[in-house]
Copies of this chain bind each other. A is one copy, B any other.
Amino acid sequence: MSGSPLAGLFAPAGAADEISLTAHHGEFVAALEREVRGRGHRLVLLGVASPADIAAQAEGLAGVVLLGFRDDELAGLPDLGTRAVAIDAYARHPSLAVIRTDDAEGGRRAAEVLLSRGHRDVLVVGPSDETSGVMRERHEGFRSVFVAAGAGAPARHMTAGTTVREGVMLGRALRARHPSITAVFAAADTLAVGVMEGLALAGARVPADVSVLGFDDLALASVVTPKLSTVAQDIPRKARLAAEALLDPRLAPSVAGPLTVDVVVIERASIGRAAR
């Protein structure tokens, strides 16, 4: 174990030169801070303008957690010279450990829940597969179950991000653009909550007219109306595994394969039987 008392959490400093502390990232940061502190270290939070800066910035730290970088950015990193863990990554890199949610299984579970309620005409929404391995896996898992059930591949709508705002725009236009859809699987709770609001603005009832299923189980999910059904990520467990990989002397500095965290579907009020 390195003698440094500091572990890093690095995230991209975006357009406003600022880290994007989304609800998911905020929950992860709080959980990681606790885990790092419990192991006698302190957490340095750092926005990096370019992935090319990561190696220099990691110098002198006991390890770094990388959050929010694209897979192509991670794959192109040099050896960082310190223990490094990428969260929710699908990049392959010889010295980068990976901790991620079982996104493909999450997609499969989402599909099973919707099929069991009679939904066959479903829209999957989320960022493009090309920019996000997470989205590719969730989508592919979902698609595979639909195809195996003879329901065919679900319709798809790509968004730039996962903001509530994008969900609202999508929800407002949904029934005009896709009149036969009975359910939406949104690959993030923030997007799902926006879709529900947009549907309501357009006069549709959730779930009587359209069911909505999210992904994450953020605190937000259980306070919106109706309460959001969602594929729950175990964010505290991801944080614990990340801290262990960086700071636990019993664990080897390199990890052979990705560590995958299980998902579970939480059924709340936003899903019902498929509308006739």
Contact = CB atoms under 8 A, between A and B. Distances in A.
Interface in A221-271: 223-225
A45 interface: yes
B13 A29 contact: no
Contact of A31 (B18, B31, B38, B164): B18
Interface residues of A, number: 36
A273 interface: no
A42 interface: yes
B168 A197 contact: no
A89 interface: no
Nearest to A198: B225
Given A26-B26, A223-B164, A223-B168, A17 B43 contact: no
Contacts of A44: 6, 42-45
A47 B34 contact: yes
Contacts of A27: 21
23 contacts: A6-B6, A13-B34, A17-B38, A18-B31, A18-B34, A19-B30, A21-B30, A29-B29, A30-B47, A33-B46, A33-B47, A34-B47, A37-B47, A42-B46, A43-B44, A43-B46, A163-B223, A165-B223, A168-B223, A194-B223, A197-B223, A197-B224, A201-B225
